[in-house]
């Protein structure tokens, strides 16, 4: 039996926490009684610099029931960082960790299946929502568009998977080696690798309070995801540069013909030729510089080049 820790980042969640606690208590009790998880399993709330009574509530939960625990961050650092803090803080104590949101939008009944898949050998189990019926039209289309763009840019993301996932301890040990500051966790886990599986669930509505991800934050997050994982936009600049340079030769050819045909006013040919040539050269140079910046970006991330899962060797 493995020891499960559930980590839950919370930002101004006083309205939902009580209900979340009751539901998770029920769930954990059943899991412990049916011997699916170790009896020392825990639910850990991470207070991400809330301005309301969230931390007081977490402290109260901890006082009343040792199933619950808390981590308090010094200030608001955003969902991804709060999640990372949770994962890395509990990893020494847990065998497996499940991350989820405080608002119970992630169906907690999927936990059973996640543990089942873990038993079958998965190191990462991704929770994937099988529909977005309960999301607004706007959220649905923007979110799905985002996953498509990410794929187009060559980033390995699991379609419709957010941050509801089970990870084993060795995955979290590997996560430590990803030191990037611009955190986009759902892009990192597929990079880490190991055997993974998927559990589908129905995404519910937020039980109370309102979304802590307004449009601005959402766009920021998406932009972070793209720019932290793909250098394709830089490639695009280089390609456009090459294209313009080719076009400029055509333009030069065209304007010389026009001049020879006498269709031009004085100076026109010179201006048009220099305009296109310079534009092309500038764009190309930007692209070349961009290529180097892309390399620096990869080096600066210092991501691990490989992770070993098994090493078989006989010592005689
Ligand atoms: N959250 C956080 N820090 C923030 C914003 C959000 O820890 O700065 C938490 C929040 O409390 C919740 C989770 O991240 O547990 C997801 O937020 P929310 O449910 O508001 O996002 P949505 O489901 O609307 O995308
Ligand atoms: Mg939510």
Q: What is the pLDDT of residues 82-91, one digit of tens each?
A: 999 999 999 9
The strand pair at 161-168 and 96-99 is best described as antiparallel
More confident residue, 292 or 218: 292
List the one residue out of 200, 126, 198 whose CA is nearest residue 167. Answer: 126
Measured between alpha carbons, how far is 9 from 209 in angstroms, rounded to an integer?
A: 15
pLDDT at 231: 85
Q: Is the pLDDT of residue 209 over 90?
A: no
The whole-number average pLDDT for the span 127-152 is 83
| Segment 144-148 long-range contacts (CB within 8 Å, at least 24 positions apart) | 146/222, 146/225
Mean pLDDT, the chain, integer: 90
pLDDT at 182: 82
Q: Which phi and psi angles does 187 have, rounded to 5°?
A: -90, -25
How far, in Å, is the centroid of ligand 1 from the Cα of 154? 27
pLDDT band at 71 (very low <50, low <70, confident <90, very high): very high
The whole-number average pLDDT for the span 40-53 is 95
List the one residue out of 80, 280, 138, 108 whose CA is nearest residue 201. Answer: 108
Q: Which phi and psi angles does 254 have, rounded to 5°?
A: -60, -45
Decide if 5 contacts 97 (C-beta within 8 A): yes
Question: Which residue's CA is the closest to the ligand 1 atom numbered 24?
Answer: 211
> Does the beta carbon of 79 sit less than 6 angstroms from any atom of ligand 1?
yes
Residue 141 tokens read as: 């289309």
More confident residue, 17 or 224: 17
Q: Residue 167: which H helix or E strand, with range? A: strand 161-168
How far, in Å, is the centroid of ligand 1 from the Cα of 135? 15
> Does the beta carbon of 48 sit less than 6 angstroms from any atom of ligand 1?
yes
| Neighbouring residues of 291: CB distance < 8 A, sequence distance ≥ 6 | 234, 235, 238
User: What's the angle, vertex CA 290, arms to CA 248 and CA 244, rounded to 5?
Assistant: 10
Q: Is the pLDDT of residue 229 over 90?
A: no
How far, in Å, is the centroid of ligand 1 from the Cα of 212? 5
> Does the beta carbon of 86 sit less than 6 angstroms from any atom of ligand 1?
no
Residues with beta carbon < 5 A to ion ligand 2? 101, 103, 105
| Neighbouring residues of 76: CB distance < 8 A, sequence distance ≥ 6 | 11, 48, 49, 50
Q: Is the pTM of this model over 0.85?
A: no
pLDDT band at 137 (very low <50, low <70, confident <90, very high): confident
Question: Which residue's CA is the closest to the ligand 1 atom numbered 1?
Answer: 79
> Does the beta carbon of 10 sit less than 6 angstroms from any atom of ligand 1?
yes
Decide if 62 contacts 70 (C-beta within 8 A): yes
Question: Which residue's CA is the closest to the ligand 1 atom numbered 25?
Answer: 213
Residue 304 exposure: Cα atoms within 13 Å on the Cβ side: 15
- Any idea which of 39-43, 83-87, 111-115, 224-228 has the lowest mean pLDDT? 224-228
pLDDT at 183: 85
pLDDT band at 35 (very low <50, low <70, confident <90, very high): very high
The whole-number average pLDDT for the span 68-80 is 93
How far, in Å, is the centroid of ligand 2 from the Cα of 163? 11
pLDDT at 121: 92
| Residues present in the chain in total | 316
> Does the beta carbon of 78 sit less than 6 angstroms from any atom of ligand 1?
yes
């Amino acid at each position: 039996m493995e020891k499960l820790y559930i980590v839950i980042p919370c930002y101004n969640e006083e309205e939902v926490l009580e209900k979340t606690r009751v539901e998770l208590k029920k769930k954990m009790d059943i899991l412990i009684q049916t011997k699916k998880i170790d009896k020392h399993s825990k639910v850990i709330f991470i207070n991400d610099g809330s301005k309301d009574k969230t931390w007081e509530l977490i402290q109260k939960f901890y006082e009343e029931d040792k199933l619950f625990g808390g981590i308090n961050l010094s200030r608001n650092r955003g969902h991804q960082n709060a999640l990372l803090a949770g994962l890395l803080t509990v990893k020494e104590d847990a065998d497996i960790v499940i991350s989820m949101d405080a608002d119970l939008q992630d169906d907690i009944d999927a936990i059973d299946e996640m543990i089942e898949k873990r038993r079958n050998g998965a190191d990462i189990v991704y929770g994937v929502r099988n529909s977005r019926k309960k999301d607004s039209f706007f959220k649905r289309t923007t979110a799905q568009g985002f996953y498509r763009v990410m794929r187009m840019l060559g980033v390995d993301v699991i379609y419709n998977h957010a941050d509801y996932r089970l990870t084993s301890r060795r995955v979290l040990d590997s996560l430590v080696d990803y030191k990037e500051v611009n955190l986009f966790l759902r892009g990192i886990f597929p990079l880490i690798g190991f055997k993974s599986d998927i559990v589908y669930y129905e995404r519910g509505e937020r039980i109370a309070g309102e979304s802590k991800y307004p449009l601005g934050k959402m766009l920021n997050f998406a932009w972070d995801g793209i720019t932290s994982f793909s250098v394709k936009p830089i490639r695009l600049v280089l390609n456009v540069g090459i294209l313009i340079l080719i076009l400029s030769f055509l333009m030069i050819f065209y304007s010389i013909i026009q001049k020879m045909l006498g269709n031009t006013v004085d100076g026109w040919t010179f201006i048009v030729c220099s305009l296109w040539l310079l534009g092309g050269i500038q764009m190309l140079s930007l692209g070349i510089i961009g290529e180097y910046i892309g390399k620096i970006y990869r080096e600066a991330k210092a991501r691990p080049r490989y992770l070993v899962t098994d090493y078989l060797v006989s010592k005689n």
